Structure 1
Amino acid sequence: MARAVGVTPATVSYALNGLPGVSEELRDQIKAVADEMGFRPSRLAVGLRLGRTNTLGLLLPDVANPFYPELASGVIEGASAEGMQVFVAQVGLDGRDHASAVSALVDSHCEGLLFTAVLPHDIPMLTDLRARGVPFGLINRRIEGLDADWVGIDDFAAARELTSLVLEGRQSVAVFGGPERSSVSAGRAAGARAALAAAGRTPLPDGMVGDLTRESGVERARALFDARGPVDLVVCGNDVIALGVMDVCHERGLAVPDDVAVTGFDDMSFASAGPLRLTTVEVPRHEMGRQAVAGLRRRMLGFTGEPQVVELPYTVRRRNTA
């Protein structure tokens, strides 16, 4: 481009980056040549020269789980409103790839990171990030004893409210939670157990802990029904587990909710659809993402105050399955 215009590369750089030292006539000429050549400046290179990249990293455990793409949509929308781009990394259901994903995102010059599925064994990694001056925030899951910005809901209260709402006439109740090391899954399971205790009932010990997948719902429901026969109510740690339970009810000719009532959690996009009409808890995933970006942006701009905890409202949705 410099050869085409007959100037030095430095002059081209000054002109395209709006820096002084170039006449307006020459600046217009250089921009016209740039357009003809299809040149687009590298935002990353410009950002590195200015000491900013306006990029953040979002770490998700499983993009196949509808919860996370919907949350990511809020993050991306919030970042776009702030003039930022988002790099997304999948870290696995158990967070086994957290460390390598963090290294890749930091090496890609992400200015901050958002974690959606932290577990207690991630504390050393997060402590190291803080020591290196890399801002981060937590969405959904949190770690007890770790002071960090967090956005989510009161999972304990939501599960307790949902379970209390559907308990009438249901004596035999199973709770199909998620991984016990997850603060979200633990809170939801504890909330369900608290509602049962308040009603003078004890949950069946079968299937309390498992993966947050449809397959896990199928496996646990088959094992439960084989061991005990149909139960009155299955309270599930998320909507996907609930789908697996309903699959087994269908294959065994059990009517939902007449024979077996089923509840989910999260109100994923499919939960309110057609004949399913799943009873669940609506989690404001999109707003969680937006709020998390706002908090991370403050940190990226130098805010050093106390950890910001944002607890958003949830809504219990009673529909056709309980």
Structure 2
Amino acid sequence: MSPRPGSRRAVTVADIARAAKVSKATAARALGDYGQVSDAVRSRVLAAAEELNYRPNALARSMNTGRSNTIGVVVGDIENPFFAHAMRGISDVANREGYDVILTNSDEDVEAEQAAVDVLLDKQVDALIVAPASSARVGHLAAVGAAGRPLVLLDRRADGRPYDSVTVDNRAAAARATAELLAEGHRRIAFISTHDHPAGVYTPGDTITMSSVADRVAGVMEALTDAGIPSPEQNIRLDARRRGVEAVARDLLEGDDPVTAVIASDSLIAMTVFQTIRTLGLSIPGDVSLISFDNPEWTGITTPPLTVVEQPIYELGAAAARLALQRIHGERVDDAAVVFDADLLRRASVGPAPRAGAPVAALSETEGRNTP
């Protein structure tokens, strides 16, 4: 009885050894490119492997060489364009150096992140790049060092831990975005994040357990405080993941003292805020100005196009991969905490603050149809 399609067993090193008429140990050395094997024997073994369509067992090879030529990556949300773009930087650098990348998703959950780290260590990856869901709950990352594997943190730091990291100066970027709005006369400025904070409304002194969000809040607070804005924390919202971005945006825009400007902590938040502003019959920037962190393509083709904090996301991922490879190869590392600057890309979604008591601008039929 002939085997069913797809049921053919995998070719083994023993099969290659028989075909090349050498011992299994010799075939393994030739295939793994280690130990003493003559050129003639290596050529014969490789020819047999090609003829039999041999696929090497990566785990077995890593046990022999101590290397799997893979880098494991754990990101918070693979649907977020930020991480997609960073992954491109990581994979481009890794692939050029002959390394594969294994991507996992934590959904910004510490327990899921810990499970992903365990799986990647079981896969014998040579290094890990992790965007930690919490900068405070990072005890599980010690397992990476215990396994003798380099660890690089992406986009976020770990509180009190000297792990290698590649981040952006989020505090300065958020302060610059806030200053842009202040210069246009805005005083009621909101910041919206989906970070899982115990209380939705931020109170000065609260611990924010994700360093990138903490830095952005600090930048917003700094700029508002310097401008003499009373209670600058009153429009900072950190519960949009739990409550929903639309609900949070509606509260800010429909309250007794509605905000006139919003800074969205990422482009997914900005998209929902944009749509909510339209749904409420408000205009951008006539009634509400909007700034988004990150610059995916859609932000440049909306009406109006959005002003954005443009982070060097590809370079962030590429730098993380280069740092991981330096550690793998035992090379000297001059800067274990790489920090990039972000640029404010001015477009048309920021305008003068509406005058107090001014009527809400009516949308034209054409303008009302535009969506991100």
Q: Shared fold by TM > 0.5?
A: yes
Alignment partner of 1:233 is 2:261: yes
Q: Which runs of 5+ in 1 are unaligned?
A: none
Alignment partner, residue 13 of structure 1: 28
Quick check: 240-249 or 104-113, which moved more? 240-249
CA distance in 2, matches of 1:247, 1:274: 11
TM-score normalized by the length of structure 2: 0.78
CA distance in 1, matches of 2:320, 2:223: 30
Q: What SS class does the counterpart of residue 101 from structure 2 fall into?
A: strand
Shift of residue 104, structure 1, vs aligned partner? 0.4
C-alpha RMSD over aligned residues? 2.4
Alignment partner of 1:54 is 2:82: no
CA distance in 1, matches of 2:50, 2:341: 49
Alignment partner, residue 201 of structure 2: none
Shift of residue 263, structure 1, vs aligned partner? 0.9
Q: Does the 8 Å CA contact 1:138/1:148 hold for their aligned counterparts? A: yes
Give per-residue Cα distances to partners, 1:14-36, cap 9 Å, x unaligned. 44345544462x54444333222
Alignment partner, residue 292 of structure 1: 320
* Equivalent of residue 151 in structure 1, options 134, 151, 166: 166
Corresponding residue pairs, total: 320
CA distance in 1, matches of 2:109, 2:43: 54
CA distance in 2, matches of 1:173, 1:73: 34
* Equivalent of residue 200 in structure 1, options 188, 208, 228: 228
* Equivalent of residue 64 in structure 1, options 54, 63, 79: 79
Alignment partner, residue 32 of structure 1: 47
Alignment of 1:90-169 (within 5 A): 90-167=105-182, 168-169=184-185
Alignment partner, residue 212 of structure 2: 184
Q: Does the 8 Å CA contact 1:137/1:149 hold for their aligned counterparts? A: yes
Shift of residue 178, structure 1, vs aligned partner? 4.1
CA distance in 2, matches of 1:221, 1:307: 40
Task: Give the fraction of aligned pairs with identical amino acids, expressed as a percent.
Answer: 29
Alignment partner, residue 210 of structure 1: 239
CA distance in 1, matches of 2:144, 2:152: 11
* Equivalent of residue 252 in structure 2, options 224, 239, 243: 224
Shift of residue 169, structure 1, vs aligned partner? 2.1
Alignment partner of 1:318 is 2:334: no
Q: What SS class does the counterpart of residue 270 from structure 1 fall into?
A: helix
TM-score normalized by the length of structure 1: 0.90
Alignment partner, residue 173 of structure 1: 189
Shift of residue 49, structure 1, vs aligned partner? 0.7
Q: What SS class does the counterpart of residue 234 from structure 2 fall into?
A: coil
Shift of residue 56, structure 1, vs aligned partner? 1.3
Shift of residue 101, structure 1, vs aligned partner? 0.7
Alignment partner, residue 311 of structure 2: 283
Q: Does the 8 Å CA contact 1:177/1:189 hold for their aligned counterparts? A: no
CA distance in 2, matches of 1:54, 1:3: 28
Q: Does the 8 Å CA contact 1:62/1:91 hold for their aligned counterparts? A: yes
User: CA 1:5/1:170 → structure 2, altered by over 3 Å: closer, same or farther?
Assistant: closer
CA distance in 2, matches of 1:5, 1:291: 44
Q: Which amino acid aligns with 2:226?
A: A
Q: What SS class does the counterpart of residue 58 from structure 1 fall into?
A: strand
